[in-house]
Amino acid sequence: MGRFWRWVGLSGAIALLILWLTAPASPAAKLPEPRSHPLPAALQQLTAPMPVGQAASDSPEDYFDAIEPTPVGALVWSRFPVTVAIQDNDDSQWRQSVRGAIADWAVYFPLVEAADPDTADIVVMRSRPPRTIRIDREQRRLIIPDAQHGQARYTFYLERHPPPHLAHRFTLYLNPDQPPHRIQGTARHELGHALGLWGHSPNPNDALYPSQVSDPPPISRRDLRTLRRVYQAPTRLGWPIQP
């Protein structure tokens, strides 16, 4: 398989949270200590087929070491099913490709499509991913990143429904200027980030490989084994905030 464009940019809106975590404890609220949630039943049995031509001994069983840390711990969901809204009103091929990616993950994870993007856990945008231009002051030049096929961004917020707890949402940007099978592959990859795989696999046979390939891979056993380990990791998300 050949590499094409760089596939994914990971981005998290965490500045306010960092201030909260590093500031003196507030007399009104305190973030919970990180701990693990019960493992979702859907992840207790892994039945993903091994991609054609890949032997079990080709690589380690997972790529958990490549998962990037965040200030809250693991980016996991604790209330199910996780909802996904597709922000495209037309019954287009793009929309059908995204629905195909949702169906791919729904085999292994409690994931459903929702109609309202304002209340959905994950929102998929039919849009080129935003590019963040940086200034290299030493070289006196602008650094403009390469165009991307997809990008995942998360934000944290305080969920006030009892019990109050720290929660998160994801926004996925998918470039519509791709063939349908690559849109589905990009959506499958970005959904993997949104479900908790906040990192990339070094193996091109995994859905979370960071570069687009000619034939986007399906969800692999390694993807699922890594996701299972992520959901066994501690997090501050979803636990009640102490008064």
Contact 217, 204 (CB under 8 A): yes
Residue 175 dihedral angles phi and psi, to the nearest 5° = -65, 125
Strand, coil or helix: 1: coil
Q: How far are the Cα atoms of 45, 80, 168 from residue 42, in angstroms, in the given order?
A: 7, 11, 21
The residue type of 128 is R
pLDDT of the residue at 44: 80
DSSP tag of 235:
B
pLDDT of the residue at 60: 76
Burial class from Cβ neighbours inside 10 Å (0-12, 13-18, 19+) for residue 22 reads exposed
Residues across the chain: 243
The residue type of 235 is T
Residue 204 dihedral angles phi and psi, to the nearest 5° = -65, -10
Cα–Cα distance, 214 to 187 (Å, whole number): 15
Q: What is the DSSP track for 114-161? A: ES-TTT-SEEEEESPPP---EEETTTTEEE-PPP-SEEEEEEEEEE-S
pLDDT of the residue at 43: 84
Residue ranges and CATH numbers for the domains of the chain are 1-13+61-67+75-129+148-237 (3.40.390.10)
Cα–Cα distance, 37 to 31 (Å, whole number): 16
Give Cβ neighbours of residue 118 (< 8 Å, ≥ 6 apart).
Answer: none
Per-run averaged pLDDT (10 residues), the chain, 243 residues: 38 46 50 92 67 54 94 96 89 91 96 95 91 61 60 93 92 93 96 97 95 90 94 96 80
pLDDT of the residue at 132: 62
Cα–Cα distance, 124 to 113 (Å, whole number): 11
pLDDT of the residue at 99: 96
Residue 215 gets the label, from left (phi > 0), alpha (psi -120 to 50) or beta, of: beta
